[in-house]
Chains A and B, each alone.
Chain A
């Protein structure tokens, strides 16, 4: 059977939201809507969500500048000094969203998603493993795992809740959103989504040219509340993903995988009902319906 006939046959009894017809047994028939209560953002020239919000609303110009990564307030002082760029990035964006929502980080389920781990640490390990002295540092080794930033988040917040750490290359934001929404809907608990990416130094930079660090964090909840900013629901789409009109912002969207979320963030910044299409895994894109509260 061809791909096309398989798809049309399979989708004939399906709603746009992906729910299936009665011959399938599905436990949850809710509309799969979640609410956003907090936003965190770090990007080149956009040090936090309030700045990004003003820029995305067109109230302020985007001035390209290196990303500013604050010292992680969550970590004890010794760890704070040693924290790598990705750890600072993920913790700061996550904390901004949690603070924005007034949530308790110590109880939060988390979904971290990143297109790569700590590029500088990876370079140092590969360089040493290619040398005559392969005795790598144990700290460098445990910091090399893809879930290092998530591990430090857990240690800092003492949250023993489930924690996912995903990778889908350029589609990492979409992958994280899909899993985070699923957990909110099924577990009826808030979930913190943190999407973050950072750069590799040369020579890996030539093979993966992410220019700088960038992160987007969303605190998602199962019910509308007094702090809810907007509701969100997604379904798959094959349309072309939305772009940003301002070229410097569109460059960020294309260059830093977490910032594939910028069209969604623009809708949130403007506080308007919107239907945005985010780039995911072609041919599958994510159509997101946003409704401000």
Chain B
């Protein structure tokens, strides 16, 4: 593919609001996970909750969109000056030439979960203030972002569970390559809700401790929430040193099981190979891999096998989910931003929570964040339904 540049990017997660908070947390090998006290949830699990989301107030003209997920989106969009960079791009290109490509798994479903507690005792009707379209519906997130910036062009949500906000980079890159748009606001937002907390618990996939990616005793995920965004544009002929590039994308399907990965990581491997091919790079060109690394026994085993097969165990890798939790539909976007930070700051993120590496995983896990000059990195995201996506990002020397 022809590379796109990340003109701006930002992240908000349990590690904090903005890039500086994430850099500081990574450098300190800090985790934002805490025992779950979210809403009325009574589960023995840890979560990565973003503080202050309930206090966010949407602009009055966008009040119909009010729900936890869009509050988190609004918080994230106006962090690190990201919103201003988008508005500058709109001035450069026009309101109909900036597309919106968002990933989410559950959007504002919490709003419906809460509304179901307030049904009319006689008719069963939902309360009159409930607004399905602007909160619950998956598109609500992209619609909110489009309305937030007053955009008039194309917009979509990709909802492929935990690969959603990696795949939006690929979808946006396609439209940029074809000249259908001149810039894209891409990213992912997922927020805590009862469906995912009780749902992953029902599958036995949540840990009672902070998650431990690649650990021999890993026993499940810690659910997190996040808003991560990037502004993508085609690269000009002159590339400024330090600019982060989206260099390759690879997508595949497991075609195996709804909620378990292919045991040999075949789909994961296909996605990584496609991403390298798309970037015109060899495995040896990659300096760091941000693993999907959910810390379930099955995911890390399958992914570890695929990474070992393709990279011969020689590329440093880590999962940052011990720091942020598994932010589900926001994970691909969040981890792309962490990769951009790794490239520009010259650091290899560590793996908080990991104590004893699983010797059955023949991969080189970065335990503690360390300095390292990087040119190209790869980020993996895999989702339910066997949806796989790998991104290759690089930095202009």
Provide the residues of chain A in CB contact with B132, threshold 8 Å: 204, 207-208
In the complex, whether A160 has a CB less than 8 A from a CB of chain B is yes
In the complex, whether A78 has a CB less than 8 A from a CB of chain B is no
CA distance A130 to B92 in the complex (A): 48
- Would you call A182 and B174 a contact (CB within 8 A)? yes
Interchain CB contact (< 8 A) of A167 among B93, B116, B159, B182 = B159
Which residues of chain B (157-195) have a CB below 8 Å from chain A? 157-161, 167, 171, 174-175, 177-182, 194-195
| Known pairs A20-B182, A147-B385; A152 contacts B258 (CB<8 A) | yes
Tell me how far the C-beta of B267 lies from the nearest C-beta in chain A, rounded to whole angstroms.
6
Tell me how far the C-beta of A151 lies from the nearest C-beta in chain B, rounded to whole angstroms.
3
Provide the residues of chain B in CB contact with A104, threshold 8 Å: none
Tell me how far the C-beta of B199 lies from the nearest C-beta in chain A, rounded to whole angstroms.
3
Provide the residues of chain A in CB contact with B384, threshold 8 Å: 142, 145, 147, 151
In the complex, whether A61 has a CB less than 8 A from a CB of chain B is no
| Known pairs A9-B94, A162-B252, A182-B175; A154 contacts B158 (CB<8 A) | no
In the complex, whether A65 has a CB less than 8 A from a CB of chain B is no
- Which of B30-38, B148-156, B212-220 lies at the binding interface? B148-156
Closest to B139 in A: A169
- Would you call A155 and B266 a contact (CB within 8 A)? no
In the complex, whether A59 has a CB less than 8 A from a CB of chain B is no
CA distance A178 to B158 in the complex (A): 13
In the complex, whether A11 has a CB less than 8 A from a CB of chain B is yes
In the complex, whether B356 has a CB less than 8 A from a CB of chain A is no
- Would you call A284 and B116 a contact (CB within 8 A)? no
Instruction: Give the tally of cross-chain contacts (CB within 8 A).
Output: 248
- Would you call B199 and A144 a contact (CB within 8 A)? yes
Provide the residues of chain A in CB contact with B253, threshold 8 Å: 154, 159-163
CA distance A27 to B175 in the complex (A): 11
CA distance A257 to B259 in the complex (A): 28
CA distance A155 to B178 in the complex (A): 31
Interface class of chain A by DSSP: mixed
In the complex, whether B7 has a CB less than 8 A from a CB of chain A is no
Provide the residues of chain A in CB contact with B117, threshold 8 Å: 130
Chain B residues bordering chain A, tally (CB within 8 A): 82
Provide the residues of chain A in CB contact with B130, threshold 8 Å: 207
| Known pairs A145-B159, A160-B270, A208-B133; A3 contacts B152 (CB<8 A) | yes
| Known pairs A136-B199, A144-B195, A169-B133; A175 contacts B154 (CB<8 A) | yes
Provide the residues of chain B in CB contact with A134, threshold 8 Å: 194, 198
Tell me how far the C-beta of B247 lies from the nearest C-beta in chain A, rounded to whole angstroms.
14
Interchain CB contact (< 8 A) of B195 among A9, A28, A141 = A141
Chain A residues bordering chain B, tally (CB within 8 A): 76
In the complex, whether B234 has a CB less than 8 A from a CB of chain A is yes
- Which of A38-46, A121-129, A219-227 lies at the binding interface? A121-129
In the complex, whether B312 has a CB less than 8 A from a CB of chain A is no
Residues on A facing B (Cβ under 8 Å): 1, 3, 6-11, 18-20, 24-28, 32, 115-117, 122, 125-127, 129-130, 134-138, 141-148, 150-152, 154-155, 157-169, 171-172, 175, 178-179, 182-183, 185-186, 202-204, 206-208, 236, 281, 283-284
Extra contacts, 12 of them, besides A127-B116, A130-B113 (Cβ < 8 A), are A3-B95, A10-B97, A28-B179, A130-B119, A137-B202, A138-B203, A145-B160, A148-B385, A151-B386, A155-B386, A186-B178, A284-B153
Residues on B facing A (Cβ under 8 Å): 1-2, 90-97, 105, 109, 112-113, 116-117, 119, 123-126, 130-133, 137-140, 142-143, 146, 150, 152-161, 167, 171, 174-175, 177-182, 194-195, 198-200, 202-204, 234-237, 251-259, 266-267, 270, 383-387
Closest 10 CB pairs of A and B: A151-B385, A10-B94, A141-B199, A146-B159, A162-B251, A130-B116, A207-B132, A167-B138, A182-B174, A169-B139
